[in-house]
Structure 1
Amino acid sequence: MGDESELLWGVGAVAERVGIATPTLRTWERRYGIGPSQRTEGGHRRYSETDIQRVQLMNRIVTSGVSAQSAARVALSLDSGGLVAALASEDPLYNAPGHVIATPVESVTRIVAAAAGLDIVGLTSVLADTVRDWGVLGAWVNVLAPVLREVADDVESGGLGVESQRIVLERLEAELRAVARTYAPRYVGARPLVLASVDAEAESLALLALEAALAGKGVAAFSLGFEVTGDAVAGLLRRIKPAAVYLWASSEEGARDVVLAALKADVPTPLLLGGEGWGSVLEDVVDMARDDVPVEAAPDLLATADRLFGLLQAAPTPR
């Protein structure tokens, strides 16, 4: 039985909520295992919120023309975070007829294998397929970030050469930049968004993923790029008074100086901090922040994209 505080749903309620016929839900449960995972005290099977998200994703994939068997394979491969990412994707699981979506594990395996074999063509192809199938941020959460972690671990253990890691980084950077260029940004805003990374480019690909995702929403963000200095961030803050600033850091080295410079610019702009580099820095700067210059942890790239877009829309025109 699940958490007693969790609201559980019967098959009829799920059918009405999701818009799928009850017999179809029963068929998906019987044939593919897409069904309720919880039981009541009386032994009745019930859908949790995660079960319902799995049904929604299954339905979305099947509606796009993919076979139910392939759709179920993808939906069952994802945990609750992966399901949220897939459902929130800008272009979730888009497919040409007959195209079979690889699961995240399969995609990671293919990318690592292509890198190990220095197969540039294969690597480029699977990266493009992954971004197309999952959307930029869905791909990042489900496949690309796990790939980077696995490749780094393999290099450290000696199972993969550093040349293979460099190829993955270069091809992934090229893919994310290409995706961003396919959109025609149409919205900057009276107070635009600013993106910047404390790290070098190789450690900052999440920033490119966020930039590409915003471009998909039609938003052209100011990017200060990589290895940004505090002076550069403070200078841009004073000149354009942006709607929000997103700073990425994977280690604490240099992170404190950059965010302190942003705070000292004394511009009423929210600061969103992404990456693992903020650690003890975050607690310090949150204590220093003012009401009109809030500092927020932004660990979830999907939520961050939505948050930035909301701040952009809500930002008043500067006087």
Structure 2
Amino acid sequence: MPTADPADARDGDGLGSATESAGILWGVGAVSRRLGVATATLRTWDRRYGLGPSERTSGGHRRYSERDVATVARMNQFIAEGVPSAQAARVARAGQVAPEPDRPAPAEAAGRAVQLTVNAMMRATQDLDAATLTAMVGQVLDHRGVLDGWTTVMAPFLVTVGQQWEIGQLGIATEHLASECISTELRQRVRQTGEHRPVNAPVVLASAADDQHALPLAAVAAGLAERHISARMLGARTPVSALTDAVDRICPRVVFIWSSLTATGLVPSLAGVEGLDPKLVLLLGGPGWQPTGDPTESAASVERVASLDGTVNRIAELVA
């Protein structure tokens, strides 16, 4: 259960005091985090359908009771199942006096919470509501951290966006908006980390030549920042010549290269450049990489990494 946040308590969005009649009382911000529904959406449901807080604190702040939260959760679930908002509100209200169902198993409850969050993020994406989507991404990262937030919520969300785009349900603008909102919050995490610990040599992050996807690089950079490890991100579509020049000037310990497509997943000739530090490690991430052949033929060591946490953990080992 979420704990009270002092800042939330000041602005009326936190977890309030308990009362004999209503039990624990929740502010709109706490309900938003608990259910994965944007605060703007909660306020809209309150204004349009009367699904808002029914209790007040001694200081006069409006608060959601547990029954109110259950009603909003039903509303959110019905909408996620495709029920129109007005009808979902009527059905949710009608169920207010019904006995609460048995609590699901922890794993089932966690999976349901993630799905509700992904559904809410999809609604914001479909509405091109960048402010709400960015706020929800920030809440996920604040609550779960970069690695778990990416694996548990962001990756399934991006898969859903991609699937909806492929069948024509979403346009390219929505896909770009989703990527930009996530990237914005990931970059913010890098800036907020503060002082980085010293490492033996820099870390370089780049996408393969002609690969336009840079979001995974931002995720790796943010994951490293949580461990106070700095990285130099060269970005999308990094030509081999530019990457080679960067390696020559920076002398990194690790170069992480992302490839989304087989068309871009050729191990760069960087691996065979003479004069490289024999300790240099090329980490290849993404589904696009083709077989590397015998790594002993390369001046640099070449390794595959299969996940964000695996990438961050391996880099942390190499620069320790």
The answer to whether TM tops 0.5 is yes
* Aligned residue runs from structure 1 range 125-164, under 5 A: 125-164=135-174
Change over 3 Å in CA distance of 1:247–1:173 after alignment to 2: same
Choose the corresponding residue for 1:249, options 259, 274, 281. Answer: 259
Distance (whole Å) between structure 1 residues aligned to residue 310 and residue 176 of structure 2: 29
**Partner SS, residue 128 of structure 2:** coil
Q: Is the Cα contact below 8 Å between 1:185 and 1:218 reproduced in 2?
A: yes
Determine the C-alpha separation between the residues in 1 that align with 2:157 and 2:273: 37
Distance 2:109 2:259 in 1: 30
| Corresponding letter in the other structure for 2:134 | T
Paired residue type of 1:193:
V
Write the letter of the residue equivalent to 1:159: Q
1:197-276 to 2 correspondences below 5 Å: 197-198=207-208, 203-256=213-266, 259-267=268-276, 268=278, 269-276=280-287
Cα deviation, residue 254, structure 1: 3.7
Cα distance in 1 for partners of 2:245, 2:284 equals 18
Contact between 2:260 and 2:286, CA under 8 Å: does it hold in 1?
Answer: yes
Write the distance in 2 (CA, Å) between the matches of 1:164 and 1:200. Answer: 22
Give the equivalent residue in structure 2 for 1:176: 186
Q: Distance in 1 between matches of 2:319 and 2:305?
A: 16
- Alpha-carbon offset, residue 171 of structure 1: 1.0
For 1:299 and 1:264, the matched residues in 2 are separated by: 25
CA distance in structure 1 between the partners assigned to 2:146 and 2:285 by the alignment: 17
Paired letter, 1:145: A
5+ residue gaps, structure 2, are 1-100
Instruction: Name the residue aligned to 1:308.
Output: 315
RMSD (Å), alpha carbons: 2.6
Percent identity over the alignment is: 29
Aligned to 1:194: 204
Q: Distance in 1 between matches of 2:113 and 2:106?
A: 5
Partner Cα distance (1:73, 1:130) in 2 = 22
- 1:143, CA displacement in angstroms? 1.1
Alpha-carbon distance in 1 for matches of 2:157, 2:117: 9
User: Shift of residue 105 of structure 1?
Assistant: 1.3
Q: Is the 8 A contact 2:210 2:264 kept in 1?
A: no
Asked whether the 8 Å contact 1:197–1:227 carries over to 2, the reply is yes
Deviation digits for residues 174-194 of structure 1, max 9, x if unmatched? 111111111113234231111
CA distance in 1, matches of 2:145, 2:252: 27
Alpha-carbon offset, residue 228 of structure 1:
0.7
Question: Secondary structure of 1:283's partner?
Answer: coil
Aligned partners of 1:204 and 1:226 also within 8 Å:
yes
Supply the AA of the counterpart residue of 1:156.
Answer: E
Q: Secondary structure at the match of 2:133?
A: helix
- On the 8 A contact 2:212/2:236 being kept in 1, the answer is no
Per the alignment, residue 284 of structure 1 pairs with: 293
**Residues 1:235 and 1:244: Cα distance change in structure 2 (over 3 Å):** same
Aligned letter for 2:120?
A: R
Q: Is the 8 A contact 2:283 2:303 kept in 1?
A: yes
Cα distance, 1:170–1:146 mapped onto 2, change above 3 Å: same
Alignment length (residue pairs): 217
Distance 1:221 1:110 in 2: 32
- Structure-2 change in CA distance of 1:73 and 1:139 (3 Å): farther
| 1:199/1:145 CA distance change after superposition, 3 Å | farther
Q: 1:129 to 1:187 in 2, by over 3 A?
A: same
Deviation of residue 253 (structure 1)? Answer: 2.8
Classify the secondary structure of the residue corresponding to 2:262: coil
- In structure 2, what is the Cα distance between the partners aligned to 1:146 and 1:165? 14
> Equivalences for 1:8-47 in 2 at 5 Å?
none
Aligned-partner Cα distance in 2 for 1:156–1:183:
36
Task: Report if aligned partners of 1:118, 1:167 keep a CA contact under 8 Å in 2.
Answer: yes
* Other structure's SS at 2:293 match: helix
| C-alpha spacing 1:289/1:199, structure 2 compared with 1 (3 Å) | closer
Answer whether contact 2:211 2:261 (CA < 8 A) is retained: no
Partner of 1:109: 119
1:172 and 1:142 map into 2 onto residues whose CA distance is 14
The gaps in structure 1 that reach 5 residues or longer are: 1-68, 80-101, 314-319
